[in-house]
Structure 1
Amino acid sequence: MQEAIIARVRRWEILLRQAMLDSDVAALETLLDKELLFVTHVGKMLGRSDDLGAHRSGLIELHDLQTTDERILIKDNVVIVSVKTRISGRFNGQPSDGVFRFTRTWLLSPDLMSGRVIAATSVLLP
């Protein structure tokens, strides 16, 4: 059962990455919980509407997301994914490139067949 859940969450992570690259707000709306809590690498607390607004307005424009060093922890209907990510793109019109560690908490539906990100944090790595 755990292997099936891990495979599902990995697919959702791929969908999330693609939605971020495409600034696909509709896809992001299905993957991010309405009550999302996201703490950025500078300690700013954002919600789902902040994230969607940044993509909708063009404030965030991602060109590439490369992930490595994935760790997954499953506890009942909660899955925590921690992944190292190299991001390149533009933020507020300025070129931006960096390596981050993202930790996302996925809350799975009771049947474990769907899930949404309910919390996330990012840390800028040296």
Structure 2
Amino acid sequence: MLKTIKTQIMNLEERLRQAMLASDVSVLNELLAPEIIITSHLGELLRKEDDLAAHESGLIRIHELKPSEQQIQIYKEMAIVSVRMQLSGSYNGSPANGDFRFTRVWAVSKNGTWHIVAAHIGMVA
């Protein structure tokens, strides 16, 4: 059972990565919970609408997103993911490149699908 859930989360993480690369707002909308809490690498608190708008408007453009060091812990109907990402892209027209660590909390929604309820992004020194 845990192996199956872990595989599901790994597949969802890859789907999320592809959606971020393509700024696919439809998929991002599906994967992010309506009440998600996002803490950016600058310590800003963001809502789902903020993240979707940044992708939709082109404010954020991600050209490369290489994952490494992924860890997944399962707790009943919740999964915590920590993944290191080498990112290259732009934010508001300025280069945004670096090594980041993403922590995401996935939870099962009322309709039985997984979505992200919390996310934190930190720069790796």
Identify the residue that residue 83 of structure 2 maps to in structure 1. Answer: 83
Q: Counterparts in 2 of 1:48-59, with a 5 A limit?
A: 48-59=48-59
May I ask how many residue pairs the two structures share in their alignment?
Answer: 125
Identify the residue that residue 70 of structure 1 maps to in structure 2. Answer: 70
User: What per-residue deviation string (whole Å, max 9, x for no partner) do you get for residues 73-99 of structure 1?
Assistant: 111101000000111001100111110
* TM-score calculated relative to the size of structure 1: 0.95
Q: Counterparts in 2 of 1:33-52, with a 5 A limit?
A: 33-52=33-52
What is the root-mean-square deviation of aligned Cα atoms in Å?
Answer: 1.2
Identify the residue that residue 29 of structure 1 maps to in structure 2. Answer: 29
Q: Secondary structure at the match of 1:56?
A: helix
Q: Secondary structure at the match of 2:43?
A: coil
Partners of 2:75 and 2:94 in 1: CA distance:
40
Runs ≥4 residues deviating over 4 A: none
User: What per-residue deviation string (whole Å, max 9, x for no partner) do you get for residues 102-122 of structure 1?
Assistant: 0000002478x6200000001
Identity %: 41
User: What per-residue deviation string (whole Å, max 9, x for no partner) do you get for residues 47-88 of structure 1?
Assistant: 100000000100000000001001111111010000001110
Amino acid paired to 2:123: L
Q: Secondary structure at the match of 1:14?
A: helix
Partners of 1:34 and 1:110 in 2: CA distance:
12
Partners of 1:123 and 1:59 in 2: CA distance:
19
Q: Which runs of 5+ in 1 are unaligned?
A: none
Q: Does 1:119 align with 2:118?
A: yes
Partners of 2:38 and 2:120 in 1: CA distance:
6
Partners of 1:87 and 1:43 in 2: CA distance:
18
